[in-house]
Amino acid sequence: MRVSDKVFTSVFLTDLMGNRDRLLKLQHQASTGKKFDLPEEDPVGSVRSMRLNRVLNENGQFSKNMDEAIAWLSATESALDQATSIIHIVRERVIQGANDTLAQVDREAIADQIDKLREELLQIANTSLGGRYIFSGFKTQSKPYALGQASVAIYQGDEGEMAWEIESGETIVVNVPGNQVFATQRIEYRLESDMHSSASIFGPGIFTIRVGNRVYSVDVPAGANVSIIADRINLRAGGSLRAYVVPDGIGVKLVIQSKGNERLSLSDSVGTVLKDLGMLNKREEMVYVGDLDIFDILQKISEDLRYNRSSSLSGERLSELDEYLDHLLRVRARVGAKVNRLEATKSRFEDNKVQLTSLLSKIEDVDIAEVVMNLSNQQAIYQSALRAGARIIQTSLLDFLE
Amino acid sequence: MGDPGSFFGIELGKRAIFAQKRGLEVTGHNVSNAGTEGYSRQRVELTTMYPYTDPALNRPATPGQLGTGVTIEQIARLRDRFLDLQYREELQTWGRWDVRSITFKRIEEFFNEPSDSSIRQAFDEFWEALQSLHVNPEDPAFRESVREKALTFTRLVRYISNQLSAYRADLNEEVAMKVSEINSYIDQIADLNRQIQMVKGVKDNPNDLLDKQDLLIEKLSKMIDVDVFEDPSGGVILVVNGVDVVRGGIRHHLVLIPNPANNGMYDVRWDFEPLSFSSNSDVAIGYASPIVGNTSYMVSVVQLANELPHMIGSPTASVVSEDITFYTLGWLDRNERGDICIRVDSGPAVSIHIDGEDSLRTIMNKINAAFYNERFSSYPTVHEHWLTASIARNDAGRFYLVLRSNHLGEDYKITILGDMASIAQRLGLWDGSSTNDIWAPQDAIFSVNGELYRSWTNRFRDAKRVSTGEYGTVVDGMLFELKGLGNTTFRPYFPAQNGELLGYLEARDGILVDYLKWLDELSYVLVKEFNAQHRAGYGLNQVKNGFNFFDEIYKVEGASKLLSLSSAIDRFPELIATAGDIDGENAGPGDGSIAYKLSSVRYRRVMRSGTVNLNQFLEAVIARLGVESQEASRMSSNQELLVKQIDNRRQEVMGVSLDEEMTELIKYQHAFSAAARFINAMDQVYERIVNNLGLVGR
């Protein structure tokens, strides 16, 4: 092959430029720590890097939202905590005040305390976090509770549920509207039997009634009619429920109704009394019985104390307080569960973040040790190319002619 | 015995001297031009001169034939024509891919991925700011943040769009320069043709002229795909895609024709056929990228679009009022109520429930709030299927309700499907059988090669094919702009099928147009979907919804240059919609549900006929950029390598090797010395003859 001078220089230059190009790239990698600058250098890597960056950004945002949600829910929890303490104190005072032997002036003193505690509770209801009222629903810029005529507590907020996104497509409701915390609807559960004649006979037998987590055993003698069965039930389980008879067309029905928001379940243990009555496999009905507003209750307690209605205090008021405490407990439990869920999610996000960041680094970042090694390798190649080229280019026949 | 002449010897010597001297001179010429671009080495071709004697009747009776010395047959030029051909072909391909590669690199610079200041980063930060807002809708600081991020993002999009357009203008200048260079080369080559023909006419080898011409042809080849043929009478014939550009005495030039549809940027044609793109520019104009090829299209315009969205309402409705907050329906009984059922195009039929207590403002709020609202049993999920409700004032100063479709064109008309208690009639929207139109949209109707289409704008690339009802590109790579009724012919023409000129035209009217188009599509869909959702929500403590977040855009083309935050939101960030609607009223300052929905717009599949979302679309564009750029880069460097390799092979034949020339030099030198020595010898002979012959005994 005939090699002209031009070819020598041309090939030498091309190879040299190639070397320098590779050197430049390695130097750039070493200085920036990144594998590629432009999408064209690694289209697939570019897209993956974009996606990962986006996910990391989103997760960062969700983490922030979670922090805010946890703050809100924690504030709610602590308010509920304080409210619970107050109700416990009130309960003690009520028991104290129901004592017949107390002097009226002492009762007045207790009534004053109750009024004070009511004010405290009102303040708790109007808790705000960073300028927003937590119990107002959507009306976060105005107080949930205000005092109206005759010191009646009026709810000014709404039923709004603030749903915050904490994960892609998943929201969590972070607030509880005031009228669902400081008041509740009272519901009772009831079960009805089939229609029977008032003279129908049932038994003998034993059946069990479960109310909430309490179990009662009711024995029915032979020859019992519906009314007798009702009496028996009231005898055995009267604390948790009541049984009564209602007329229904030409006959009567037996009704069992729980006191308070507890479900009922019935089963025959001996005999087939429930089966004959037609009370098995029936669905309970929810019956709305009235509202329970703690501010109302407290006002009524104060009045009862001042007018010395001790039976009302130890009867209705106490059971209302207990019911309300149950309700408050349930609300607290729900809020607490949300906080737990958020904290678990948050820690999952932290783990995710570490994994994603490391994956992103694998795609985007160079291994510095590898780059430095390649760089010194390439430098050696560059130098030897220069040396070889310099030798050959310079020599020609002219050097050897006389 | 015959004698070819007394001074035959000297003559022989003289010829030798001349020949060897010429050999030295040619070697010197080679050595001088060893580094000259395009130089092919020359060789003296020596041959024996015509021998003495001729076989004829009157030939001298001397033993023959006698050699008569050396003569120069020709000064030959050593060149491989086949390799030249290959070289030129690869140059053309390299020219085209080189331009493409540079173009893509520039586009990559504009998009600036991967980095923290890229468009995608700004996009993400905007959505995140909205995310933060939904958790803190009452806080002005978060509103400011949304506003800032929106300004940053929209500014960046406009900037990139303008950069891309400015680059198109730069490429246009390149096209003009290339055309001028091509024309100049054509002239030079044609001029050389004449000179070469004259030299060849007298049987000489125009070696250096041919070198010059070949070099010019190579330079031309990188720019345009020219085929080269040898003209038997000397010189070359240049043919570009079937067009004789240089033949004999004729030469043709490229001319630049400004195209009004392409911002006055140039179409390139030959000077013997300087036609404009459209035969009748009063009917329609257009431009196309080289992908279209050199075929004609018959375009017939039947109707122009009025580019209006459907708008209904009546200033003289029976239910106007001095006060939009006053209940206006004129019920006899405040307890009356009814539903109106509205639908846009083939979207869901939406039932709006109206009470006797509702004011005009509440009704407007309810209608706007129906967009993407799960509280409705049937609700619109894309902007094309809904409208904007607003309140206008008539000349007498009283207010009336106006509904305006979100999309231009006849397809997106508003229809009233159900009107209980004649509410829609009383509001002035409906006359009992049809809508009361303030604006009635009209589509453009046209045909291309006999196929009928409808379009809702007059300047477009895509339209709806009437026979199939499908919406798509009319002619791939072509833009249409309808001007008036009548017929015209579109005659796209591209002189080059390879080379830099093609590369520039492809880049200007193909590649950059594509990326601008995608940026436009992204901006357009973002504005439409985001605004539709935004109008459904209320700002902080606001009583009205229906505000746009971005300035409204109706056309896709140029959307990326118009993308901007509305001035109302810019000045009053409290207008950013965060709260939802309850029965025509603001749900409350703590409600961030609309802000949440707004931040979810990025996940809605609103791009590419409902298959991808905004984020995926942007990622796909950048991915494609990476792939296309990589391809162009690879092709360009491969071609460069190929061209160099072929050149090296050429140099084997035409390149000067100094070592070789030195050897030749020595050869001619010795031959010269020998010839000189021979002349000396003959000189002595003649001296002997002249001075000493015939002087016997003297």
The string of pLDDT tens digits covering residues B202-223 is: 888 888 899 999 999 999 999 9
Q: What is the pLDDT of residue B54?
A: 76
Is pLDDT of B601 > 60? yes
Which range, of B142-146, B358-362, B619-623, averages the lowest pLDDT? B358-362
Question: What's the CATH code of the domain at A309?
Answer: 1.20.1330.10
Q: Within an 8 Å CB–CB cutoff, is residue A2 touching chain B?
A: yes
Closest-CA distance of chain B to residue A26, Å: 18
* Nearest neighbour of B588 by CB, restricted to A158, A168, A396: A158
Is pLDDT of B258 > 60? yes
Rounded to 5°, angle at Cα A387 from A384 and A389: 105
Is residue A259 within 8 Å of A243, Cβ to Cβ? no
Closest-CA distance of chain B to residue A392, Å: 13
* Nearest neighbour of A397 by CB, restricted to B599, B652, B662: B662
Question: Using 50, 70 and 90 to split pLDDT, how confident is the model at B458?
Answer: very high
User: What is d(CA A277, CA B506) in angstroms, rounded to the nearest whole number?
Assistant: 90
Is pLDDT of B103 > 90? yes
Q: What is the pLDDT of residue B61?
A: 75
Which residues in A lie closer than 8 A to residue B579 (C-beta atoms)?
A: 138
Residue A251 lies in a domain: yes
Do A199 and A178 lie in a common domain? no
Residue A42 lies in a domain: no
Q: What is the pLDDT of residue A271?
A: 87
Q: Which of residues 41-80 of A touch B (CB under 8 A)?
A: 41-43, 46-47, 49-51, 53-54, 57-58, 60-62, 64-65, 68-69
Is residue A121 within 8 Å of A298, Cβ to Cβ? yes
Is pLDDT of B332 > 70? no
Q: Within an 8 Å CB–CB cutoff, is residue A360 touching chain B?
A: no
Residue A262 lies in a domain: yes
User: What is d(CA A259, CA A187) in angstroms, rounded to the nearest whole number?
Assistant: 8
Do A149 and A75 lie in a common domain? yes
Q: Within an 8 Å CB–CB cutoff, is residue A303 touching chain B?
A: no
User: What is d(CA B403, CA B395) in angstroms, rounded to the nearest whole number?
Assistant: 19
Which range, of A160-164, A329-333, B85-89, B338-342, averages the lowest pLDDT? B338-342
Closest-CA distance of chain B to residue A61, Å: 6
Q: How many domains does chain A have?
A: 2
* Structure tokens, B407: 């999309």
Residue B102 lies in a domain: no
In B65-178, the DSSP E strands lie at 70-77
Q: In what order do the strands lie in the sheet with B297-303?
A: B471-473, B462-465, B451-455, B444-448, B297-303, B486-490
Residue B104 lies in a domain: no
Q: What is the pLDDT of residue A200?
A: 84
Question: What's the CATH code of the domain at B356?
Answer: 3.30.70
Q: What is the pLDDT of residue A334?
A: 92
DSSP for residue B50: P
- pLDDT 10s digits, B418-444: 777 678 888 888 888 889 999 999 999
Phi first, then psi: what are they for A55, rounded to 5°? -60, -40
Interface test with B, best of A7, A128, A142 (most B CBs within 10 A): A7
Do A170 and A319 lie in a common domain? yes
Do A155 and A213 lie in a common domain? no
Q: Within an 8 Å CB–CB cutoff, is residue A374 touching chain B?
A: no
- pLDDT 10s digits, B491-510: 999 999 999 999 999 999 99
Question: Using 50, 70 and 90 to split pLDDT, how confident is the model at B142?
Answer: very high
Q: Distances in Å between the alpha carbon of A163 and those of A74, B222, B285, B371?
A: 16, 64, 54, 19
Residue B198 Cα to chain centre, angstroms? 44
DSSP for residue B552: P
Q: Point out which residues pair with A285 in neighbouring strands.
A: A190
Mean per-residue pLDDT of chain B: 90
Taken as a whole, chain B contains a residue count of 698
Do A169 and A315 lie in a common domain? yes
Which amino acid is residue B431, in one-letter code?
D
Rounded to 5°, angle at Cα A133 from A132 and A138: 90
Closest-CA distance of chain A to residue B321, Å: 31
Which residues in A lie closer than 8 A to residue B663 (C-beta atoms)?
A: 397
Q: What is the pLDDT of residue B698?
A: 67
- pLDDT 10s digits, B183-193: 999 999 999 99
Is A1's CB within 8 Å of B652's CB? yes
Q: Give mean pLDDT, residues B530-541.
A: 96
Do A60 and A140 lie in a common domain? yes
Interface test with B, best of A36, A37, A47 (most B CBs within 10 A): A47
Which residues in B lie closer than 8 A to residue A364 (C-beta atoms)?
A: 114
User: What is d(CA B13, CA B21) in angstroms, rounded to the nearest whole number?
Assistant: 12
What's the domain range around B342? 306-442
Of B392, B418, B442, the last residue of a domain is B442
Of A352, A372, A387, the last residue of a domain is A352
User: What is d(CA A154, CA B244) in angstroms, rounded to the nearest whole number?
Assistant: 96
Is B651's CB within 8 Å of A54's CB? no
Which amino acid is residue A35, in one-letter code?
K
Residue A299 lies in a domain: yes
User: What is d(CA B17, CA B675) in angstroms, rounded to the nearest whole number?
Assistant: 6
Is residue A230 within 8 Å of A193, Cβ to Cβ? no
Residue B429 lies in a domain: yes
Nearest partner of B424 among B358, B341, B356, judged by Cα: B341
* Nearest neighbour of A61 by CB, restricted to B128, B627, B648: B128
Q: What is the pLDDT of residue B331?
A: 53
Closest-CA distance of chain A to residue B478, Å: 28
Is B592's CB within 8 Å of A164's CB? yes
Do A177 and A303 lie in a common domain? yes
* Structure tokens, B644: 């160099």
Closest-CA distance of chain A to residue B102, Å: 12
Q: How many domains does chain B have?
A: 2
Is residue B219 within 8 Å of B227, Cβ to Cβ? no
Q: Within an 8 Å CB–CB cutoff, is residue A7 touching chain B?
A: yes
Q: What is the pLDDT of residue B335?
A: 64
Residues of chain A with pLDDT under 70: 260
CA dihedral for B238, B244, B248, B252, sign (positive or negative): negative
Which residues in A lie closer than 8 A to residue B658 (C-beta atoms)?
A: 5, 396-398
- Minimal-distance CA residue of chain A relative to B640: A14
Is pLDDT of B327 > 60? no
Do A133 and A262 lie in a common domain? no
Of B391, B409, B442, the last residue of a domain is B442
- pLDDT 10s digits, A225-271: 888 888 988 888 877 788 888 888 888 888 888 876 778 888 888 88
Residue B22 lies in a domain: yes
Which range, of A290-294, B73-77, B193-197, B547-551, averages the lowest pLDDT? A290-294
> How many A/B residue pairs have CB atoms within 8 Å?
166
Is B623's CB within 8 Å of A163's CB? no
Do A259 and A301 lie in a common domain? no
Do A214 and A166 lie in a common domain? no
What's the domain range around A273? 194-278
User: What is d(CA A21, CA B470) in angstroms, rounded to the nearest whole number?
Assistant: 50
Is B114's CB within 8 Å of A39's CB? yes
Of B414, B442, B470, the last residue of a domain is B442
Residue A189 lies in a domain: no
Do A242 and A302 lie in a common domain? no
Is pLDDT of B324 > 70? no
Which residues in B lie closer than 8 A to residue A162 (C-beta atoms)?
A: 590-592
* H or E element that contains B344: strand B337-344
Is B652's CB within 8 Å of A53's CB? no
Complex ipTM: 0.73
Q: What is the pLDDT of residue B322?
A: 57
Do A165 and A84 lie in a common domain? yes
Q: Give mean pLDDT, residues B520-549.
A: 95
